[in-house]
Structure 1
Amino acid sequence: MSKATIKQVAAEADVSTATVSRVLNDNGYVSPEVKERVFAAIAKLNYQPSAIARSLKQDKTFMIGVIAPDISNPYFMGISRGIEDVVGPEGFQLLFCSSDEAPEKETRLLQLLHEKRVDAIVLATSGGSAAAIDALIGNGQRIVLIDRRLEAGGETPALDLVAEDNASCAYDLTRALLDDGHVRIGIVNGLTRVSTGRERLEGVLRALKERGVEDKLLLYSGDFSTEGGMRAVRRFLREKERPTAIVSLNNRMSHGVLLELVRGGLRIPGDMAVASFGEVEAGQLLKEPRLYYVDQAPYEMGLRAGEILLRRIRGENGAHEPANEIFRHEIKQMH
């Protein structure tokens, strides 16, 4: 059975196609009696409006692309939920993509979303895609950065950014362990090609240097994964002089740290104290872990990103400087 067309609906309702269009788009006055005839014709013919045709006419697809390094990470899920709660009531849908921390894949996803004519892209970059971003912006694509900055250099103009004060939070997190008397500390860092990896390490090193113990640190460069946290612990435990505490600079790596410590029979914090950039739910299963963590606010960050998206899509405040929203979080301890 062939699909009904707008012309058939118009003929059934005895109105023009322009009137049917006004009813469907709620644009312009149409009398209640005529609206009733149009809706009756739509129901009778089971007419399905073309989303593609509507988007071409309105110059909008009502789709927003979201590219995250790992969409299964609760942190990025929280951000996405915040965005959705803002843009959803305005009729926008989200398209989720995971770059897997791979710059080449991120570049392909950026191009794909642009070809799909999404109204905007929210990007937590894995690094290395500045040239692709520059080209898309030149073609009119709206891009809002979340969590991560673009790498320095290049000609890419400043973009809207919603991120954390990574260096300050990592500094405070490390200070919490130093204040407890720990001197030899293992650091599990993420990818340094990514701004979060660089900035958080900067904060840790500043705290250690202030105490004059930077020469006692053990540094493991991970990949923001659970497995990376596990590998870091195995390496630290092979050291002749083990660390007495571990700072893990990402919630996924922190999960791996806790898993490996528990599997190895170590008590937390008796045998090894742990501090995490981001809360780790698994820590609640431990008995009095006294786990320090940065109390992140991904949902609130998503809400702010959603507000910026709507403003850009609507063309509001177009002449203003790009938004630069930086969240500073508290250090808390899990008891």
Structure 2
Amino acid sequence: MTTFPERVFSGVQPTGNLHLGNYLGAITKFVALQDRYDCIYCVVDMHAITVWQEPEELKKTIREVTAAFIACGVDPKKNIVFNQSQVPQHAELAWIFNCVARLGWLNRMTQFKEKAGKDRENASVGLYAYPNLMAADILAYRATHVPVGDDQKQHLELTRDIAQKFNNDYATSIAAHGYGDTFFPLTEPLIAGPATRVMSLRDGSKKMSKSDPSDYSRINLSDDADAIAQKVRKAKTDPEPLPSEEEGLKGRPEAENLVGIFAALADRTRADVLGDYGGRNFSEFKAALVDLAVAQLGPIGAEMKRLTQDPSAIDAILADGSERAEAIAVETLKAVKDIVGFVRH
């Protein structure tokens, strides 16, 4: 059985303000993983254009997401940080995977149904074939692990299906070219502890989202200390004091959300937080949460502001990362072309 060196790949779309949900759900995990794995972190701008983007705004958000990675503690020297469109092998491999993946597999993708809505005939082909490009993103580096949230599990399963079918379809050619019995790994999900699901500060039943019309529904990573404090103080609550045990949070989505945010930022359990604040009113709890959130997130916003004021420095990081990424992806594509039977020079 072919063994693969452990490598992590993950990507974030550059589609507007990154917020607290992105930070707790993904970026903090990226920072932790870089101490244990060879990591490749990608700003997936080709995925972003599956729905129309204003060109100048897209450039800005690509740089903003890169700045957020770095401000949160991702080291671009230790890891590879780049934007997808600078490495053409992603698109090349995606076409080969378009010819490996089956229509029936893509028809089962729930995210396409959600994003396309009722007017599916009017959705772009890119939005439909998005999961094949995601598989190419991962497998261009023959990545063994991907950190995933609940909404990406189905896409990772498709990546594994594509890798398996490619390995089966071309088994004879893979062996003949000296790659053993498999060429692509069956990438494993990395699920780091209980997922932090961050909900809207205005409605505890909805996920925190950059598309929510109210800026008070989310804490953006670019927010300064005053904005963070104001948003926490205005966050929706209920009239009851905080319970002393987790059971008491049931049916109280806003209370549950704020306790969960406190616990995640403090790296403690919700039971610990309720042990400290159970029985107290929300004004007291929110004051403590303001202090914690400003201490944790304020420096990130300040560093993002500093970084985005120098776009050429961010572009240099992306250029260096894309060069290092392409050096790996080129070798994968050379091998894939040999295996598939293309003639190359």
State whether TM-score is above 0.5.
no
Whose helix fraction is larger, Structure 1's or Structure 2's? 2
Higher relative contact order (CA 8 A, sep 6+): 2
Whose strand proportion is higher, 1 or 2? Answer: 1
TM-score (norm 2): 0.28
Rg larger for: 1
